[in-house]
């Protein structure tokens, strides 16, 4: 019967970092889109004690798919056990675990195991290729985020801007969703290419001018009308190794409570070249927070102005 044969894979990498630090990165799934290349977005559904449930969107063999997962976190043993409540093709089901094994020399062997079944036996090669690619990318990204020698919490961090807009939620959401119009409505955006390969999944390429410098970014966006839009940049500015975020829209007595949330991972090695020889990680954090926050506030401010003009 299809989907009943279980297959197993194991991937491992020894990383020159403490086990607790590496465990903490994997345990905090909210940081995954800014750390792990395949992950596009994560939305928590439930957290009770050591158990959590979340919806995740990720790239599998070049296509964005989504599934729900349950994880049990065991910080004492440094083990994370997971299973998918429902899986996306080519998988019929999936479970596995992360292990973090400390060595006497201070390094850690990180082991990622998967146990899975496929709905169609002909899809086994696709499933194995996806696991090989994504597991390797995740382990390498985990090594990369600790390689700078700076604490992970210093190079990977989040911040939020909140604005109350005197426009209905639906109009505010629509302005952000229809990014193909930004070239005409946002002064810091000079070029936009927007594609929607599947309902609610967008590929956005955009040129922006920040501090007199032009940057090209490419993003994947997950749109859920009218409540939120999550995104992950596939091509980031030179100072960032990863950048993900969310636009959240909620009803407010004055119109819309709009939240722009960013999670970023810095490239510490790029700081002296981009910000000057004496610049520090703290300087880079402040620079990124100001630049991205300014753009988010400008986008929301123009959302209110443009939708008001459209109604006039």
pLDDT tens-place string over residues 79-97: 999 999 989 889 999 999 9
pLDDT above 50: residue 136: yes
Domain boundaries along the sequence of the chain: 7-147, 155-311
Of 7, 3, 1, 2, the closest CA to residue 131 belongs to 7
pLDDT above 70: residue 312: no
> May I ask the CATH class of domain 7-147?
alpha beta
What local confidence, expressed as pLDDT, does residue 1 receive? 37
What local confidence, expressed as pLDDT, does residue 311 receive? 57
What is the rounded distance in angstroms from the CA atom of residue 194 to the CA atom of residue 206? 8
Q: Are strands 108-118 and 7-15 parallel, antiparallel or unpaired?
A: antiparallel
* Confidence label for 307 from pLDDT (cuts 50, 70 and 90): low
| Homologous superfamily of the 155-311 domain (CATH) | START domain (3.30.530.20)
CA end-to-end span of the chain = 62
Mean pLDDT of 197-206: 95
* Confidence label for 304 from pLDDT (cuts 50, 70 and 90): confident
| pLDDT tens column, 10-27 | 999 999 999 999 999 999
pTM of the shown model: 0.91
Fold match flag (7-147 vs 155-311): yes
pLDDT above 80: residue 193: yes
């Amino acid at each position: 019967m299809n989907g009943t044969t279980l297959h197993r894979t194991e991937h491992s990498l020894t990383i020159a970092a403490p086990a607790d630090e590496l465990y903490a990165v994997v345990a905090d799934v909210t940081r995954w889109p800014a750390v792990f290349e395949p992950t596009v977005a994560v939305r928590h559904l439930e957290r009770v004690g050591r158990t959590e449930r979340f919806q995740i969107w990720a790239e599998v063999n070049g296509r964005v798919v989504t599934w729900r997962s349950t994880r049990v976190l065991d910080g004492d043993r440094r083990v994370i056990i997971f299973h998918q409540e429902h899986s996306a093709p080519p998988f019929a089901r999936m479970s596995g675990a992360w292990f973090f094994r400390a060595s006497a020399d201070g390094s850690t062997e990180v082991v990622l195991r998967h146990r899975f079944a496929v709905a169609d036996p002909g899809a086994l090669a696709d499933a194995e290729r996806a696991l090989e690619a994504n597991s390797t990318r995740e382990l390498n990204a985990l090594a990369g985020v600790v390689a700078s020698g700076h604490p992970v919490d210093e190079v990977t961090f989040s911040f939020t801007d909140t604005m109350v807009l005197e426009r209905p939620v639906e109009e505010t959401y629509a302005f952000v969703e229809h990014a193909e119009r930004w070239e005409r409505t946002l002064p810091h955006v000079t070029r936009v290419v927007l594609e929607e390969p599947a309902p609610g999944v967008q590929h956005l390429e955009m040129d922006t001018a920040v501090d007199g410098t032009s940057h090209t970014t490419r993003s994947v966006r997950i749109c859920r009308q009218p409540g939120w839009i999550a995104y992950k940049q596939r091509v980031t500015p030179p100072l960032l190794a990863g950048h993900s975020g969310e636009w959240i829209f909620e009803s407010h007595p004055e119109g819309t409570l709009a939240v722009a949330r960013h999670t970023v991972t810095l490239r510490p090695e790029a700081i002296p070249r981009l910000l000057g020889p004496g610049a520090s990680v703290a300087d880079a954090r402040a620079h990124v927070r100001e630049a991205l926050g300014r753009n988010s506030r400008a986008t929301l401010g123009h959302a209110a102005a443009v939708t008001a003009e459209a109604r006039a």
